[in-house]
Amino acid sequence: MRRFKKRVNRFARELSQWRDQANAESELRRRAEAEINQATTANQRLQQEVQKHVTIAEYFKNRTVKYSEGVKRMLSVLEELNFDIPHIQGDFNEVEIVLSD
């Protein structure tokens, strides 16, 4: 009978250890899933931000193209009217105007 009680006690300890380990692993899994959910939410917000900036960039690109075409048309009309048009050299940060003779 004593041997039987020892075995039962040993099995009870093993069962308790298995239960503790299962609870610990369950908690780790819960934390990992929470982190995954947070990362997914953050990723979705970032994707929305990127899409917003893409839309803004497209808007300004289209406006730039439109204004560039308008300036080209105006320059063409002025050239047809024989206006003396200065030539612009360089980039937008350092513009140098060279007047034609």
17-62 pLDDT per residue, tens: 999 999 999 999 999 999 999 999 999 999 999 999 999 999 999 9
Distance between CA atoms of residues 7 and 5, nearest Å: 5
Torsions phi, psi for 97 (to 5 deg): -100, 125
Distance between CA atoms of residues 85 and 101, nearest Å: 10
pTM for the predicted model, two decimal places: 0.53
pLDDT at 94 over 60: no
Instruction: Kindly list the domain boundaries of the chain, sorted by start residue.
Output: 2-98
Between 1 and 48, whose confidence is greater? 48
Rounded mean pLDDT of 1-17? Answer: 90
